[in-house]
Amino acid sequence: MFNLLNEIIPVYQPSLLHGDLWSGNFLIDHNGHACIIDPAVYYGNREADIAMTKLFGGFSQEFYSNYNDYLPMLNGWQERIPIWNLYPLLVHANLFGSSYLNQINSHKTNHCESICYQLRNRYEMKKIVISLNFKLYYSVSSF
């Protein structure tokens, strides 16, 4: 999968990320204001923060709709969530123990391998199209 990351992950301008944005770090104060706590701030691809929001339960659909209205995500961002969340799952396994290993294996098997399979198929189709185009060009130019 590592060799396919350049095809999978789009390039965004780096954004300042919360770094640990999950529902447990989102609170409403006594005045009804939304608050986010416990940041692990860094600059990176904003899809990483959005993916993290889905890792342990997720936020409301309204959150994702409003975010996307304000700063639209690139096509396919939902399909890339499993790739972004693999790293936090590995970190959790390292910090909190092997109870995360089943989730990592399930996550990897159910999501990441299917993405790689789709990309391999797309790559194979590109090779076939290039081959067909070359053969077509060769046969037309030989007349």
Burial class (CB in 10 A: 0-12, 13-18, 19+), 21: buried
Cα 44 → chain centroid? 12
Q: How far apart are CA 131 and CA 48, in angstroms?
A: 37
Residue pair 64/97 in contact (Cβ under 8 Å)? The answer is no
Active-site residue flag, 20: yes
Q: Extract the tokens encoding 37.
A: 């706590």
Q: How far apart are CA 27 and CA 23, in angstroms?
A: 8
Percent helix, strand, coil in the chain, to 5, is: 65, 10, 25
Residue 93 phi/psi, 5-degree rounding, is: -60, -40
Q: Give catalytic residues, as residue numbers.
A: 20
